[in-house]
């Protein structure tokens, strides 16, 4: 009978200890968060309003993640555009000197610079951020173009039979712009329809509409290719034809620069929409958090006092339990 009594006493003691710990944990949580740990009890069982607030907050947090991803993509796209435009602008400055160049080595230096810019531009169009290719449309996991050097080799092979500047321009125009020609069949591997689209809110979406196969990018790459291949040994054009290609390349790049500026301005409007969505979402989340506190918020000082009281009770419980254990051991040994 005594053993059973000891077991019952132990179980009661353990249950009381658990209750004290739970009370201390609940009070600590309440003091930390400022919210009632048992919302249903705090609200007398009427939790519908809190549930609605929580559901709307979850939806807004999803939008917040979408806004953050959209901002990342917009910034990376703007950066790629800026790099492409800056490189082309610098090259245009070099190409402006073409009429003054008189020998093959000088022309080749400018042409080699154009080849470097072409390769760099293609690689910029293959950019990715957060696992998404920026210029592949909806095929965000697919690199839109081969690497720059490979693509330049494709073009070199295609125009190798040309003997005049006109031959080279015609071959490049066909390769870049004709349906079923080299660019579409050998180069571009992204989606030929659709764009990257990310939700910013329940009624607003950010769309990133420039692909590497757009007319803007094709014409820009074609202009660079003209200059890059002007002095290519596999074509062996005369100096007048080389100068013709370099001059025509500069004129095309200047036109492309204006279009790129428009594209970047359009992207800037998208960035402004993203920023508005970000501030709007943050403001709404803040308002909902305030509404939630008004429903389930508690006095932190009172919760801290409850925590202190629970802690004191636990300490008293442990001291009493320890003393009882020593007494029981002494009686057992006696």
Chain segment 169-178, per-residue pLDDT in tens: 999 999 999 9
> Are residues 260 and 145 part of one domain?
yes
pLDDT at residue 4 greater than cutoff 60? no
* Higher pLDDT pick, 156 / 18: 156
pLDDT at residue 108 greater than cutoff 70? yes
Q: Is residue 85 part of a domain?
A: yes
Q: Yes or no: say if 126 and 147 are a contact pair by the CB < 8 Å rule.
A: yes
Tokens of 40: 């249903």
pLDDT of residue 310: 60
Q: Is residue 11 part of a domain?
A: yes
Euclidean distance between CA atoms 190 and 149, whole angstroms: 19
> Residue 309: which domain range?
2-34+298-333
Closest CA to 137 of 188, 190, 74: 190
pLDDT of residue 1: 42
Euclidean distance between CA atoms 201 and 277, whole angstroms: 7
pLDDT at residue 98 greater than cutoff 50? yes
pLDDT of residue 333: 42
Q: Yes or no: say if 195 and 211 are a contact pair by the CB < 8 Å rule.
A: yes
pLDDT in tens, 190-234: 998 777 778 888 788 888 878 999 999 999 999 999 999 999 888
* Mean pLDDT in residue range 179-185: 92
Number of Cβ atoms within 10 Å of the Cβ of 9? 11
Closest CA to 220 of 160, 263, 166: 263
> Are residues 302 and 283 part of one domain?
no
Euclidean distance between CA atoms 300 and 32, whole angstroms: 8
CA distances for 272 relative to 137, 158, 206, 286, angstroms: 21, 43, 10, 21
> Are residues 271 and 242 part of one domain?
yes
> Are residues 242 and 269 part of one domain?
yes
> Are residues 202 and 327 part of one domain?
no
Euclidean distance between CA atoms 79 and 68, whole angstroms: 17
Q: Is residue 49 part of a domain?
A: no
Euclidean distance between CA atoms 53 and 30, whole angstroms: 19
pLDDT of residue 46: 55
pLDDT of residue 328: 52
Tokens of 247: 């001059």
* Higher pLDDT pick, 307 / 108: 108
- H-helix or E-strand spanning residue 207: strand 204-208
Domains identified in the chain, total number: 2
Average of per-residue pLDDT values in the chain: 81
pLDDT of residue 163: 85
Q: Is residue 147 part of a domain?
A: yes
pLDDT of residue 162: 80
pLDDT at residue 24 greater than cutoff 80? no
pLDDT in tens, 275-332: 998 998 889 888 887 776 666 555 455 556 655 666 666 666 666 666 655 555 445 4
pLDDT at residue 253 greater than cutoff 90? yes
> Are residues 283 and 242 part of one domain?
yes
Q: Is residue 46 part of a domain?
A: no
pLDDT in tens, 44-53: 555 677 678 8
Beta-bridge partner residues of 201: 204
Number of Cβ atoms within 10 Å of the Cβ of 265? 9
> Are residues 255 and 181 part of one domain?
yes
> Are residues 171 and 26 part of one domain?
no
């Amino acid at each position: 009978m005594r053993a059973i009594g000891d077991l019952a006493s132990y179980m009661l003691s353990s249950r009381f200890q658990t209750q004290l710990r739970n009370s201390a944990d609940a009070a600590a949580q309440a003091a930390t968060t400022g919210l009632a740990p048992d919302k249903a009890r705090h609200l007398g069982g009427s939790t519908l309003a809190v549930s609605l607030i929580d559901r709307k907050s979850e939806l807004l947090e999803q939008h917040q993640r979408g806004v953050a991803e959209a901002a990342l993509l917009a910034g990376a796209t703007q950066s790629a555009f800026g790099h492409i435009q800056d490189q082309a602008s610098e090259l245009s400055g070099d190409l402006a000197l073409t009429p003054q160049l008189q020998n093959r080595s000088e022309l080749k230096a400018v042409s080699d610079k154009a080849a470097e810019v072409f390769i760099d531009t293609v690689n910029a169009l293959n950019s990715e951020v957060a696992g998404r290719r920026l210029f592949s449309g909806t095929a965000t996991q697919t690199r839109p173009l081969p690497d720059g050097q490979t693509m330049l080799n494709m073009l070199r092979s295609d125009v190798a039979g040309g003997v005049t500047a006109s031959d080279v321009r015609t071959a490049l125009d066909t390769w870049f712009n004709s349906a079923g020609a080299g660019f579409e069949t050998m180069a571009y591997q992204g989606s030929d329809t659709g764009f990257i689209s990310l939700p910013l809110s329940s009624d607003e979406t950010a769309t990133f509409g420039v692909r590497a196969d757009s007319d803007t990018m094709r014409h820009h790459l074609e202009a660079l290719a003209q200059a890059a291949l002007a002095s290519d040994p596999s074509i062996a054009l005369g100096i007048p034809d080389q100068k013709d290609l370099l001059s025509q390349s500069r004129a095309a790049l200047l036109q492309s620069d204006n279009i790129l500026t428009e594209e970047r301005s359009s992207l800037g409007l998208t960035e402004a929409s993203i920023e508005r969505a970000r501030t709007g979402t943050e403001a709404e989340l803040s308002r909902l958090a305030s509404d939630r506190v008004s429903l389930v918020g508690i006095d932190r000082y009172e919760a801290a006092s409850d925590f202190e009281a629970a802690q004191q009770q636990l300490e008293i419980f442990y001291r009493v339990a320890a003393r009882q254990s020593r007494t029981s051991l002494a009686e057992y040994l006696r």
